[in-house]
Amino acid sequence: MRFWKAVGDVGFGLLWATVAIGPLAKLWKPARALLPWRRQLGIWFAIASSLHALLIFNGWARWSVSRFLGYEFIPQLGREARWEPGFGLANILGLTALFVGLLLAATSSDRAMRALRSSAWKFLHNGVYFVFYVGSIHALYFLFFHYTVSFHKNVPAPDWFRYWFLGMVSTIALLHVAAFVKTVRASQPEAIATA
């Protein structure tokens, strides 16, 4: 396994933990003790993801935007051509998630919360769910679609992390649905009791 991929997996795990704490705390009171950890986990996610992106740009793309977007120079054609369909879009999604994650990390201080005021800060930091789902689409491509049978490359063995990844994404979706249902029920006790 390549180092850049391992760092990306660590970043995803940190993001997963960050996103899981909120709905888990709504569903299970003892989990509220974890709420203060969300900021630190989110900052570590941003650091790990930045390192992941740096390793990709430096090692694989070699600081070429074309390579980052999936284009390669093809000698037979005498020009660059898209070599990896889907690769560029997946990388753009990952970079978008990283930029939003860096914005969230930069505003993860009490000082930023005071400057933005509580409601604006909360609105901004709900962007973590955008980061999670866009980052999940990025990872989904590389875990399930990028390394498939192709005429121009050898296919490595399936990634061990892919089923853990599916479990992690499914867990977040289920936690959100369950927390939403609990919130709706708590806000409308008389309507549900008479229904």
Instruction: Answer whether residue 91 is part of any domain.
Output: yes
Residues 69, 162, 128, CA angle at the centre, nearest 5°?
65
The bridge status of strand 71-74 relative to strand 79-82 is antiparallel
pLDDT at 149: 65
Instruction: Answer whether residue 145 is part of any domain.
Output: yes
Residue 100, domain extent: 3-187
Instruction: Answer whether residue 76 is part of any domain.
Output: yes
Locate 61 and state its tokens: 């793309």
pLDDT, averaged per 10 consecutive residues of the chain (195 residues), comes to 88 98 97 96 98 93 90 86 85 98 97 94 96 97 80 74 96 97 86 57
pLDDT at 146: 81
CB-CB contact of 145 with 152 (8 Å): no
Instruction: Answer whether residue 193 is part of any domain.
Output: no
Instruction: Answer whether residue 194 is part of any domain.
Output: no
Instruction: Answer whether residue 141 is part of any domain.
Output: yes
Instruction: Answer whether residue 81 is part of any domain.
Output: yes
For 138-141, the CB contacts below 8 A with 24+ separation are 138/90, 138/91, 138/93, 138/94, 138/97, 139/8, 139/12, 139/165, 140/165, 141/86, 141/87, 141/89, 141/90, 141/93
* Closest CA relative to residue 35, chosen from 24, 47, 45, 27: 24
pLDDT at 78: 87
Locate 135 and state its tokens: 């980052």
Cross-strand pairs, 82: 71
Distances from the Cα of 20 to the Cαs of 11, 32, 142, 147, 163, in angstroms? Answer: 14, 11, 23, 29, 18
Instruction: Answer whether residue 169 is part of any domain.
Output: yes
- Tell whether the torsion through CA atoms of 158, 159, 164 and 166 is positive or negative: negative
Counted domains in the chain: 1
